[in-house]
């Protein structure tokens, strides 16, 4: 969720200072009662109403490392994730995991799809991943079924 703008915060404090009840200010501006109280207390104590910096650690790959990665993508489009990781460590001095590299590639709009000798992307149909392990059987109804038991028509009491 994004922080409320400084302009909105000032309007909330001004409305509260005019004597408008806290619950009415909260309803008018679509914020919580606690938010109104917090902004009013900050203004009363002379603190800034500006949003604070978001918590969390800073990104491991700064803007320069991302630009280097993008240049490497254009220069060596078939390089693997470990090769790109080693490149960034050597050139930019950035030690990141392959997962971080993969996420950065995704943000840049690149996929990990490999290219064969003719310049065409190799595509493997999705069903080839699970088809060898999946057995199809035919029940007496004629509908294909999965790995479970095949069931005979109702009323016969027989299982095949």
Q: With CA atoms as reference, report the closest residue to 36 among 21, 55, 50.
A: 21
In whole angstroms, what is the distance from residue 103 CA to residue 87 CA? 16
pLDDT value at residue 160: 52
Report helix, strand or coil for 75. helix
List pLDDT tens digits, range 106-150.
Answer: 888 877 665 555 555 555 555 555 545 544 444 555 555 555 555
pTM of the model: 0.43
Report helix, strand or coil for 13. helix
List pLDDT tens digits, range 20-57.
Answer: 999 999 999 999 999 999 999 999 999 999 998 888 88
DSSP state string for 95-145: ---HHHHHHHHHHHT-----B-TTSPBP---THHHHGGG---EE-TTS-EE
């Amino acid at each position: 969720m994004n922080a409320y703008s400084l302009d909105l915060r000032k309007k909330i404090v001004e409305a509260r200072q005019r004597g408008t009840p806290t619950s009415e200010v909260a309803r008018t501006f679509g914020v919580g009662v606690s938010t109104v109280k917090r902004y009013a207390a900050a203004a009363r104590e002379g603190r800034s109403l500006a949003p604070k910096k978001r918590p969390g650690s800073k990104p491991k790959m700064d803007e320069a490392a991302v630009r280097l990665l993008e240049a490497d993508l254009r220069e060596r489009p078939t390089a693997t994730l470990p090769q790109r990781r080693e490149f960034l460590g050597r050139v930019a001095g950035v030690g990141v995991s392959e997962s971080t590299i993969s996420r950065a590639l995704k943000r840049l709009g690149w996929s990990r799809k490999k290219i064969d000798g003719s310049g065409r992307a190799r595509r493997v149909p999705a069903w080839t991943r699970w088809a060898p392990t999946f057995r199809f059987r035919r029940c007496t109804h004629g509908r294909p079924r999965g790995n479970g038991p095949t069931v005979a028509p109702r009323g016969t009491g027989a299982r095949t």
